[in-house]
Chain A
Amino acid sequence: MDIREYLEILEREGMLTKIDQEVDWNLEAPCITAMLMRVSQGKHFILFNNVKGYYPDKGRLVADLRLLNRRRFWEVPALLLGLPRDISLDDFRDEYLRRYNSPLKPTEIAAADAPCKEVIKMGKDANLLDLPIPFVHRTDGGRYLTDHWVINQDPDTGWTNVAVYRFMVKGPRRGAALWTMGQHGPSIHYMKYEARGKVCPVAIAIGADPISVFALAVSWPAGVCEYDYVGGLRGQPLELVRAETSNLLVPARAEIVIEAELRPGERTDEGPFGEITGFTHGRNVSPVFHINCITHRKNPIIPIFVSGAKWGTTSQSIAISVGPDFYNHLKPLGFKFGDACGDSDALTSFIAFTHDPESPQELNQFIHAFLSSKAYIIHSNTLVCDTDVDIHDARDRWEQVGLNCNPQNFSQYQYSDSFMYALHFFTDVENRFRNTDGGKCVFDCTTKFKNMDFVTRKNHFEKAFPEPIRKRAKEMWSKLGFDESWEEKKIPRPFMA
């Protein structure tokens, strides 16, 4: 599926608003996107047809394509997977996990069949400023792409890595990226090229398969190509086409493909940028992206994601993808894996698990197993809850902290001097560059082996009001004038149960 097919689905579902009034790429479209992210609950998406300076055919913007419904957070991902919107959470997760564990190798198609080659601009004709790339936050250091794939290849093995690194426009044919050490492309592929004094080819694909965010948000081990997992989640191989100026294979149905080269030893300033962790991330040193070629579809569409706006794509995609990711990490170690989800309200910092420990020691082992897994690398704070808790509901997560966390025990799972994710801001800029002096903390909200005199028993809704009373209240609900439907609380079943 490409963006245009996805927009057709959204339109059919009555979820797409097309704005023909002129909107500026310079803060205005991002501001409307951020407002949408705060209020829409994943019910509305906006296509900006008339972008100032780019109308009628030089490019359009689309606001956060993967915005989730706060209550039925799996609804939009279901549409992205081509599943019915009214699918149950349990069925969605089973299908998601099945596809997640069924990667498909991509296929290469001819350039003549690739929509991303409708327009080809080589050399000096390639100009980033010809595209409506937005200026996202007032404090940013330039115009930024936020929803795209950065593609690079290992010069020895041919392993292709695909990831999202924020991309800054530095000029018509120059760019920079948050080239974070610790990630495969910058740390392995680029360093090999640079150590050999060779030019590293890179491609940036904008507006490729929108399901990709879930495949790219996962901590795949070295040697794994994200293309295979985009194909797996889609249920059909991703179509690729050969780049114009390098041997890289790029998504054929992308809206835009920017082809660039990184020359050894060259560096430039990148940033600041308002990041997914909710802070402005400052100056960063990046290789220089020299743009050699831009290919695109006619009147291309650039997706906007406004990071730091609380309720947005990145934290939500992590919220969806951490479950299968941790399941795959922890299940082989023999743990009874309950559930895991990210906390979109806490951006990327918080995640939550459910676990039914066999003993206090086993709980300790479980906690240390996820703390030491690669999937945990960007997270800092974690809740571990009983398996009868709906950790997908933010209200339930905080209720767990309120009810079951004894502040006297916080130090039990508190660690300092651990790995520091570059985009978290609990320490200074030099530590973030070195990924040192970080902190991790686990809130143990389980009750099984705690002193029952201490554990306050929940007086929750289902316990407080017996079913006949609830049924009667539900029947009266709409007559009382409420227009929201009332749904009984249903705890998602454990993974693969």
Chain B
Amino acid sequence: MNKYAMFEVYLAKNWADIEAGKEIICEIFRLDDASIHLVKAKIAKKPEELPGGEELIIRNDEGAWIAKNPWVIKIIEELDPDEVEFTPAPSAIKPVY
């Protein structure tokens, strides 16, 4: 099982889809080998909401790991960043969850 990290702003930006259990496109950092991936994935706050999911650390724009308990991510598909446009979210998006 791998461990990943992503920025909180992308939870906020995609919150409606995450809450509805839909896939989102996000950029994640794999801690085990320090690699970055653009993926199509499902995300949940608790492991029981996404069986088979892997650990996801949430960090804020300052870089701090903010969630007391890790979230969960299930990667559906790895995407090619040269093929799929992924625009950084503005910092102004505030968490709604």
Residues in A lying within 8 Å of B, measured CB to CB: 26, 135, 139-143, 169-171, 174, 267-269, 271-273, 280-283, 285, 429-430, 433
Contact = CB atoms under 8 A, between A and B. Distances in A.
Given A142-B35, A169-B36, A170-B81, 15 more contacts: A135-B34, A139-B63, A140-B34, A141-B29, A170-B36, A174-B82, A267-B88, A280-B63, A280-B64, A281-B63, A282-B60, A282-B62, A282-B64, A283-B88, A429-B61
B34 A171 contact: no
Nearest to A53: B33
B2 interface: no
Contact of A271 (B9, B63, B86, B87): B63
Nearest to B87: A267
Given A142-B29, A171-B81, A269-B27, A282 B63 contact: yes
B63 A143 contact: no
Q: Contact residue range for chain B?
A: 20 to 34
Nearest to A143: B34
8 contacts: A141-B63, A171-B36, A269-B88, A272-B62, A281-B63, A282-B62, A283-B91, A429-B91
B65 interface: yes
Contacts of A283: 7, 9, 61, 63, 88, 91
Contacts of B33: 26
Interface string B1-37: 0000101010000000000000000010100011110
B61 to A, nearest CB: 5
Interface string B45-74: 000000000000001111111000000000
Interface of B: 5, 7, 9, 27, 29, 33-36, 59-65, 81-82, 86-88, 91
A206 to B, nearest CB: 18
A268 B81 CA distance: 10
Nearest to A281: B63
Contacts, number: 56
B45 to A, nearest CB: 21
Nearest to A273: B63
A24 B86 CA distance: 31
Contacts of B81: 170-171, 174
A26 B35 CA distance: 11
B47 to A, nearest CB: 23
B63 A272 contact: yes
Nearest to A285: B88
A29 to B, nearest CB: 13
B75 to A, nearest CB: 16
A430 B36 contact: no
Contacts of B63: 139, 141, 271-273, 280-283
